[in-house]
């Protein structure tokens, strides 16, 4: 059983709106901020466009839907497990593609996750003018961390997933602003089709400069 710690400072929700330009969140004070995913993806449009041109729109749409679907199913399975809601019946109901990925991730959860302070936790920063929902805020191997679950077809190198670390660093900054608690560790756990999961652990401070460049450029558009 995973232990959950409720922080009163995080007792809020965020309204979201998705348009062609991305997703925005409305804070409890009525301010509207872009999601950190929208901010970071704004500068990958050229690469995405070139990929779509290369494989064709129909195939690109098929690949995107499949990846999004199994990513969502894995997130739902991990969330249910960490919330201590994963019964044998629910385990049987997980789609086969997500079940294979979840089986990879589950031992990592059992071995590494301690107290949990938020699952799919809404966060925002008035200083950075950005918002989002964090997969997990909790202890990883005894240290408070931002923990994110990802899926992939093949193994990734650290250089391929810099956006993941910037996203996690943004959540750490939002969490610090909301609670006063500093998070140093960023954990990205990736389940993939090789059957061997990857775990990357980085430091928040190493990604703040690049994150701030992205945010400044986005807000000055």
Note the pTM of the prediction, 2 decimals: 0.89
State the average pLDDT over residues 217-221: 88
Per the domain annotation, does 67 fall within a domain?
yes
Per the domain annotation, does 19 fall within a domain?
yes
For residue 199, is pLDDT > 80? yes
For residue 53, is pLDDT > 90? no
Per the domain annotation, does 141 fall within a domain?
yes
Per the domain annotation, does 81 fall within a domain?
yes
In 3D space, the residue among 192, 112, 109 whose CA is nearest the CA of residue 155 turns out to be 192
The CATH number for 199's domain is 3.90.320
CA 81 – CA 127 distance, rounded (Å): 34
**Tell me, what's the pLDDT at 145?**
98
Under 8 Å between Cβ of 136 and 118: yes
CA 212 – CA 219 distance, rounded (Å): 10
Per the domain annotation, does 79 fall within a domain?
yes
| Number of structural domains in the chain | 1
State the average pLDDT over residues 50-75: 59
Instruction: Give me the helices (H) in 83-147, please.
Output: 88-93, 96-112
State the average pLDDT over residues 157-172: 94
Per the domain annotation, does 2 fall within a domain?
no
**Tell me, what's the pLDDT at 123?**
98
Per the domain annotation, does 57 fall within a domain?
yes
93-139 tens-digit pLDDT? 676 778 889 889 999 999 999 999 999 999 999 999 999 999 999 99
State the DSSP code for 159: G
Per the domain annotation, does 1 fall within a domain?
no
- Enter the tokens of residue 153: 């077809």
Residue 130, domain extent: 8-219
Percentage of the chain modeled with pLDDT above 70: 83
């Amino acid at each position: 059983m995973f232990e959950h710690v409720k922080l009163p400072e995080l007792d809020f929700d965020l309204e979201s709106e998705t348009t062609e330009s991305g997703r925005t969140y409305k804070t409890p004070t009525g301010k509207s901020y872009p999601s950190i995913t929208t901010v970071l993806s704004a500068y990958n449009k050229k690469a995405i466009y070139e990929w779509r041109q290369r494989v064709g729109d129909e195939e690109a749409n098929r690949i995107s839907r499949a990846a999004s679907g199994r990513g969502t199913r894995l997130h739902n399975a991990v969330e249910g497990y960490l919330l201590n809601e994963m019964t044998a019946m629910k385990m049987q109901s997980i789609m086969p593609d997500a079940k294979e990925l979840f089986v990879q991730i589950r031992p990592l959860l059992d071995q590494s996750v301690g107290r949990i302070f938020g699952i799919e936790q809404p966060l925002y920063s008035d200083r950075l003018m950005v918002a989002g929902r964090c997969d997990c805020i909790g202890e990883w191997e005894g240290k408070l961390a931002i923990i994110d679950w990802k899926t992939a077809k093949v193994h990734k190198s650290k250089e391929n997933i810099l956006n993941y670390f910037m996203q996690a660093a943004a959540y750490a900054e939002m969490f610090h602003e909301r609670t006063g608690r500093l998070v140093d560790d960023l954990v990205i756990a990736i389940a993939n089709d090789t059957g061997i999961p990857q775990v990357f652990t980085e430091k928040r401070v190493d990604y703040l400069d690049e994150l701030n460049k992205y945010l400044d450029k986005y807000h000055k558009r």
